[in-house]
Amino acid sequence: MFSDELERLRQENLLRRVCDRDLEATTARILINGAEYINFSSNDYLGLASHPSITEAAKRAIDGYGLGSGASRLLSGGTELHGKLERMAAEFKGTEAALVFNSGYTANISAIPSIAGAIAGKGDVIFSDEFNHASIIDGCRLSKAKKVIYRHRDTSHLSELIKKEEGKRKIVITDTVFSMDGDIAPLKEISDICREHNAIVYIDDAHGTGVLGDGRGALEHFGIKPEPWPNAQIIQMGTFSKALGSYGAYIAADRDVIEWLINTARGFIYSTALPASIIAASIEALQILQKDTILVKKLWQNRERLLKGIRELGFDTMNSETPIIPIIVGDMETTLKFSELLTKHNIYAPAIRPPTVKIPRIRITVTASHTEEDIDKLLDVLSKITQ
């Protein structure tokens, strides 16, 4: 039975394969089966995953606390480092408090159902951008709230839909940077609409943290200050697993929201705490980011160089505004072939297909670790392939 289904996926060019790497020295290089590629697929935007002071911090924490954490936070799994990271994340995001989750996926599938639909009889309504990340979609599915999907970044559509739900508790959820398109949600308009309709804004800043607003994230980028509730009801989710080069995630918000999550978010309550080594790495990464924005500047310089080159070659890069640059090359088969050709030229940039996206594309992410030569090599290969 499964073999027939798998064969169907194969026929439709939809079969996915795991592609594990060998030892890797930097973010910009990847070794697979002994061959070396320039890696344009990593979300480690600042190259922090292999930063020596971060890996050292993790090693020291293993020596001090051991490896596994042994229990959930509500039992005995937490360490003083967990609390320290939460205070740092809250300060970094300008909120009263923060809570660490084991991953971004866990944060969304746990926090969304506990924020929306968890209080019986309130008739909560979630408004979700149609291109939101799968973990948000799953969080919405687990929530007992009513779900309303608005067109991608379309604030007049959102406005129209939100007016129909007067009197209900409302939560608007959006990615800040859309992970497959590289465009940015219009947060200023969204937060104005939410203020007008007394709705909660829940942002997923997985690709904004460390990238936008000098690394502080999407709110900083738009100059939105998280005011105390109930003036502005903003809940910020973000991850340590992308630009911060570590692992895990956080929700930063008002103290009451965080306490509510501690009491109701199932992925927080019923899962073993992250190991201290990972927490120590995230602490060090946040410190590096707060001390110096040189890596963020390098990231954006690289992004400008690459985007300019790709556009000069005549590719459709959709509405990319960030280091995530999709390039549209054709149907599914063409996109897969294109990705294979890139691999032949030692460039690693995978094809992204349905159901992750509607329109197949090559998704390129550029990082602070790429050199100008790496970027020029990619541009050279792109121009050769299209000739």
Ligand X SMILES: *Cc1c(COP(=O)(O)O)cnc(C)c1O
The set of catalytic residues is 179, 207, 242
Taking the complex as a whole, the smallest distance from the CB of residue 134 to ligand X amounts, in Å, to 8
List 105, 131, 150, 300, residue binding ligand X (CB under 6 A): 105
Which residues in the 153-182 window bind ligand X by CB under 6 A? 175, 179
List 69, 95, 239, 282, residue binding ligand X (CB under 6 A): 239
Look-up of token digits 């990319």: 320
Are 318 and 330 spatial neighbours (Cβ–Cβ below 8 Å)?
no
Q: How many residues bind ligand X (CB under 6 A)?
A: 14
Taking alpha carbons only, the member of 245, 207, 215, 209 closest to residue 24 is 245
Nearer to ligand X, 40 or 382 (CB): 40
Sign for the pseudo-dihedral over CA of 226, 228, 231, 232: positive
**Using CB under 6 A, which of the segments 21-29, 72-80, 118-126, 201-209 binds ligand X?**
201-209
Q: Are strands 146-150 and 125-129 parallel, antiparallel or unpaired?
A: parallel
The widest CA-to-CA distance across the chain, in whole angstroms, is: 61
CB atoms within 10 A of CB 8: 11
Nearer to ligand X, 256 or 270 (CB): 270
Per DSSP, the chain holds a count of helices (H) and strands (E) of 14, 13
List 44, 86, 204, 220, residue binding ligand X (CB under 6 A): 204
Which residues in the 109-128 window bind ligand X by CB under 6 A? none
Rounded CA-CA distance 298/271 in Å is 37
List 135, 339, 367, 369, residue binding ligand X (CB under 6 A): 135
3-state secondary structure of 205: coil
Assess 133 for contact with ligand X (CB under 6 A).
yes
Rounded CA-CA distance 61/58 in Å is 5
Nearer to ligand X, 40 or 169 (CB): 40
**Using CB under 6 A, which of the segments 98-106, 118-126, 220-228, 347-355 binds ligand X?**
98-106
H or E segment to which residue 126 belongs: strand 125-129
Taking the complex as a whole, the smallest distance from the CB of residue 135 to ligand X amounts, in Å, to 4
Which residues in the 177-196 window bind ligand X by CB under 6 A? 179
H or E segment to which residue 361 belongs: strand 361-365
Under the rule (CB under 6 A), what is the footprint of ligand X?
103-105, 108, 133, 135, 175, 179, 204, 206-207, 239, 241, 249
